Amino acid sequence: MRNLLAILKHSLSISAIVLVGIFVFLKWVLPLFTAPLPMSLIGLYVALTFSALMIFYTMSGASLEEFMGPIHRFLVGEGQEGVAKIARLLLLILFPLLVGWQTYTSLAPSDFPPAESRTIHPAPPGEFVGLANPLQPTEANIQIGKGIYASRCSPCHGSNFDGKGTAAPGFNPPPANFRDSGTIAQLQESFLFWRIKKGGVGLPIEGKPWKSAMPRWEVELTDKQVWQVIMGEYDGAGQSPRTWEEEE
């Protein structure tokens, strides 16, 4: 028991526990209260935590030795016997094999078809088809929509409606660039109404390439607010929604 407590008190063990704890919290605990985070964003937070730990443990020679000492002794085999020696040999054999396998699988030609690209917008469910914005495009509605957008949408889609919000680098697929003529300018308002209300989790199977981490805003926004956000997005991006007349 004393040996176990001594190991748990070591800086290397504490760092491992912190990193695992951060991963578990972001992967399984946080989604209980909010939208699931993409693995790219979780990896970013874990990497930032690891960087912070390394900065902390390299602030002095003593703390660096406490952190790196066990790793150095394990790799050079200092004072090892029995299980520790076998574990070191396995690590030194398996790690190069793993790197080689990963390199081979990433470069070797594959018979599997390429991943489906995001070229065709998924079709909305029947109850959203043909919906029309019931609000008048007044300056008041547009400004209210832009205000909601600024507080709820701009961290990902950007304050300039260009998909370059402060949180955008952590998402895959990235947030949509509304200024791009291939996004909302090609869509009807009813499509945006569906996507904003249902978020990434509201897509049908055929819409998998478009699946994103966008939350279901129907939980926090009323239908009126969603329509106002849509007007604010089109106005801010300098685009116009596609109409039924254009379809015909």
DSSP 8-state code for residue 206: G
At 209 the pLDDT is 67
**How many independent structural domains does the chain possess?**
2
Tell me, what CATH number does 150's domain have? Answer: 1.10.760.10
Indicate the burial class of 92 (C-beta count within 10 angstroms; 0-12, 13-18, 19 or more).
exposed
Check pLDDT > 80 for residue 104.
yes
Is 105 within a domain?
Answer: no
Check pLDDT > 50 for residue 3.
no
Give the pLDDT band (50/70/90) at residue 117.
low
Structure tokens at 172: 């895959």
Give the total residue count for the chain: 248
d(CA 174, CA 184): 15
Among 17, 47, 76, residue at a domain's last position: 76
233 and 166 together in one domain: yes
At 4 the pLDDT is 39
Q: Side-chain half-sphere of 139: how many Cα atoms within 13 Å?
A: 0
At 227 the pLDDT is 97
Is 102 within a domain?
Answer: no
Check pLDDT > 80 for residue 49.
yes
Is 62 within a domain?
Answer: yes
Residue of 237, 37, 204, 184 lying closest to 122 (CA atoms):
204
Instruction: Quote the pTM value.
Output: 0.56
Domain span holding position 68: 2-76
Give the pLDDT band (50/70/90) at residue 163.
very high
65 and 152 together in one domain: no
Give the pLDDT band (50/70/90) at residue 30.
confident
46 and 141 together in one domain: no
Give the mean pLDDT of the chain: 82
Among 76, 98, 113, residue at a domain's last position: 76
